[in-house]
């Protein structure tokens, strides 16, 4: 039953969280350290990929590539792009490195990209916990970056991001980020205390979740937070079992802004603006003005600021916050954040065709 009054402590959340997704979110700092160790244990050589890096994957397995690109920012020296499809971008060449990222190792789209990259003669690397992808890679002599098992794919976000950063470094698309990852893990441990279930009921994470109850969330990002806005949307979909949407500024101000005039006729929509300390000054102006223009027709509006000094700290502070908000919102709605029944049904039906 949906309520804004429930206490968001471990005991209350545990009553509906059958697979303990909360613990996996709180373990993100530990996951970052373990991911770094696992990436280094793969003992990748260094090579040169003038055409850059493509991260092929779907869902929670793909997001790591996009977050790695966001964290690298201007330090990325070559293109780092995602392929969320059954094939690679048409401009992919043998001079491209392709990281095939699938948590289960059985994602059919990623397997298709693995085969396509091999046929093309591109350098391949795999990040997975096992499955068919690991079997193929080992048979082909393709390096495998191991990922911890026993998680929902979306909970492996730290592993997939670190794997993408490591491959970006090895293929010449970006700098080494090991020290930044260690520092970010320490920073996140502090935020776990500030935002976690033992935090006061008026903490930022819990307040944000309560503000979204009974609404359809729309999450806005810009620059560094663009990909993070997409991550928030997908976590609200899978954990809180809600339709949710995302867009980026300034583009949203050239189209979607007008759509808010009819929002109240359809449902209660809420808006969350993800901001960063390095945001362009005009984007800061746009967030303030956009929020003001839609406030009267929105169920709620919120502005959230990244936390930290380095880009990696700031990216993962917002990942942690969004993941916690999605778990808290699931608890407030009385739904189990773990199962994703419709996705499993779809996979089963696809397997029959």
| CA separation for the pair 295, 228 (Å, rounded) | 22
**H/E element holding 101?**
strand 97-102
- Locate tokens 């954990």: which residue? 239
Q: Which residues of 190-209 are buried (b: 16+ CB within 10 A; e: fewer)?
A: ebbeebbbebeeebbbbebb
The verdict on whether 115 is a catalytic residue reads no
Query: Which one of the listed residues 166, 204, 238, 248 is annotated catalytic?
Result: 238
Beta strand 53-56 with 269-275 is unpaired
Which residues pair with residue 219 across a beta bridge?
246, 272
The verdict on whether 238 is a catalytic residue reads yes
Please state, as a whole number, how many other Cβ atoms lie within 10 Å of the Cβ of residue 175. Answer: 13
Could you tell me if 260 and 298 are in contact, meaning their C-beta atoms sit under 8 angstroms apart? Answer: yes
> What are the residue ranges of helices labelled H in 7-85?
10-14, 21-26, 28-41, 59-72
On the question of a cis peptide bond just before residue 114, with omega within 30 degrees of 0, the verdict is no
Question: Residue 80: helix, strand or coil by DSSP?
Answer: strand
Query: Which one of the listed residues 11, 46, 254, 348 is annotated catalytic?
Result: 254
| CA separation for the pair 216, 150 (Å, rounded) | 31
Question: Residue 199: helix, strand or coil by DSSP?
Answer: coil
The verdict on whether 187 is a catalytic residue reads no
Between the two ends of the chain, the Cα-to-Cα distance in Å is 38
| CA separation for the pair 36, 48 (Å, rounded) | 21
- Locate tokens 């949307």: which residue? 233
Catalytic site residues? 238, 254, 347
């Amino acid at each position: 039953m949906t309520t804004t009054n429930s206490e968001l402590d471990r005991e209350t959340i545990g009553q509906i969280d059958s697979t303990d997704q909360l613990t996996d979110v709180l373990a993100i700092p530990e996951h970052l350290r373990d991911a770094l160790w696992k990436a280094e244990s793969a003992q990748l050589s260094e090579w040169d990929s003038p055409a850059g890096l493509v991260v092929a994957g779907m869902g929670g397995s793909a997001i790591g590539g996009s977050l790695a690109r966001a964290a690298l920012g201007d330090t990325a020296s070559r293109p780092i792009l995602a392929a969320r499809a059954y094939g690679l971008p048409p401009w992919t060449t043998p001079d491209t490195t392709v990281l095939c990222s699938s948590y289960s190792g059985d994602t059919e789209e990623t397997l298709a990209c693995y085969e396509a990259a091999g046929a093309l003669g591109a350098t391949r690397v795999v990040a997975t916990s096992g499955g068919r992808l690991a079997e193929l890679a080992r048979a082909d002599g393709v390096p495998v970056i191991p990922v911890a098992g026993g998680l929902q794919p979306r909970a492996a976000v730290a592993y997939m991001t670190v794997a993408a950063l490591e491959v970006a470094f090895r293929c010449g698309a970006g700098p080494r980020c090991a020290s930044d990852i260690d520092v970010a893990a320490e920073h996140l441990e502090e935020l776990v205390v500030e935002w976690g279930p033992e935090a006061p009921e008026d903490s930022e994470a819990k307040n944000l979740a309560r503000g979204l109850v009974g609404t359809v969330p729309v999450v806005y990002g810009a620059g560094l937070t663009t990909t993070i806005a997409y991550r928030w949307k997908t976590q609200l979909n899978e954990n809180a079992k809600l339709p949710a949407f995302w867009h980026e500024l300034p583009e949203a101000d050239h189209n979607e802004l007008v759509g808010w005039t009819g929002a109240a006729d359809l449902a209660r929509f809420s808006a969350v603006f993800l901001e960063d300390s390095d945001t362009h000054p005009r984007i800061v102006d746009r967030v303030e003005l956009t929020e003001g223009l839609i406030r009267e027709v929105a169920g709620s509006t919120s502005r959230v600021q990244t936390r930290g000094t380095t880009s990696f700290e700031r990216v993962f502070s917002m990942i942690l916050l969004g993941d916690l908000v999605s778990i808290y919102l699931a608890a407030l709605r009385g739904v189990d954040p773990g199962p994703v029944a419709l996705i499993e049904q779809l996979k089963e039906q696809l397997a029959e065709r």
